[in-house]
């Protein structure tokens, strides 16, 4: 997916003038998401473009969400932001008594959720995990976007990991 839509008037205020938006968004991402190298950010009439290379599995999603959850951002294009690619395991021939083929772990499953009026992290955790007490899983997955678990707002877009242990 290379385009994500966001709510323009919702999110953290990082800039006052469009001319400073790209630099401020880049600073924000780099300060809170160490999993990206060579990050470049463009901003044109509410549209953010991201370029760079992710060095961690969750960095791509976090970059997109951090850029999109900024007041004044409508869309984020991330087709030039290279996702993390896990190194391939060495191929081992199968056949000997101690030789086994190695499996590549599957990418974690997740969904994106837009917060609505009245939501709490506990309500979201109850909906996705069946237990409100797992609100910390939602918070930890979105720590770069949600600074305070008691301060979420309608229109904010977050990610929900679906492969968490019950």
The CATH number for 153's domain is 3.10.350.10
Same domain, 9 and 78: yes
Domain for residue 70, yes or no?
Answer: yes
- The CATH number of residue 17's host domain is 3.30.300
Q: What is the pTM of this model?
A: 0.76
β partners of residue 54: 36
Residue 151 lies in a domain: yes
Quote the domain boundaries for residue 116.
Answer: 110-161
136's enclosing H/E stretch is helix 135-141
Position 96 in a domain: no
78 lies in the same domain as 10: yes
Residue 138 lies in a domain: yes
Whole-angstrom Cα Rg for the chain: 18
What is residue 147's predicted lDDT score, i.e. its pLDDT?
A: 86
pLDDT for the residue numbered 136: 96
Q: Are residues 125 and 73 in the same domain?
A: no
Residues 6 and 30: beta-carbon distance below 8 Å:
no
What domain count does the chain have? 2
Tell me the pLDDT of the chain (166 aa) as tens digits.
Answer: 456 778 787 788 899 999 999 999 999 999 987 789 999 999 999 999 999 999 988 899 899 999 999 999 999 999 999 998 877 766 555 555 555 444 444 556 789 999 999 999 999 999 999 999 999 999 999 988 898 999 998 999 999 998 755 4
* 81: β partners: 52
Q: Does 102 map to a domain?
A: no
Q: Is 127 left (phi over 0), alpha (psi -120 to 50) or beta?
A: alpha
């Amino acid at each position: 997916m290379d385009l994500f839509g966001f709510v323009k008037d919702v999110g953290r205020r990082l800039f006052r003038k469009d001319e400073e938006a790209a630099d401020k968004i880049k600073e924000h991402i780099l300060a809170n998401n160490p999993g990206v190298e060579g990050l470049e950010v463009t901003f044109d009439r509410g549209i953010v473009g991201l370029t760079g290379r992710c060095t961690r599995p969750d960095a791509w999603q976090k970059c997109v969400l951090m850029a999109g959850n900024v007041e004044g951002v409508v869309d984020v294009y991330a087709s030039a932001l290279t996702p993390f690619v896990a190194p391939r395991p060495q191929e081992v021939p199968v056949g000997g008594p101690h030789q086994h083929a190695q499996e590549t772990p599957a990418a974690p499953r997740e969904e994106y959720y837009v917060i609505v009026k009245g939501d709490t992290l506990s309500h979201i955790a109850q909906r996705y995990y069946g237990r409100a007490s797992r609100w910390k899983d939602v918070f930890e997955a979105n720590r770069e976007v949600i600074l305070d678990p008691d301060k979420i707002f309608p229109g904010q877009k977050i990610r929900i990991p679906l492969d968490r242990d019950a």
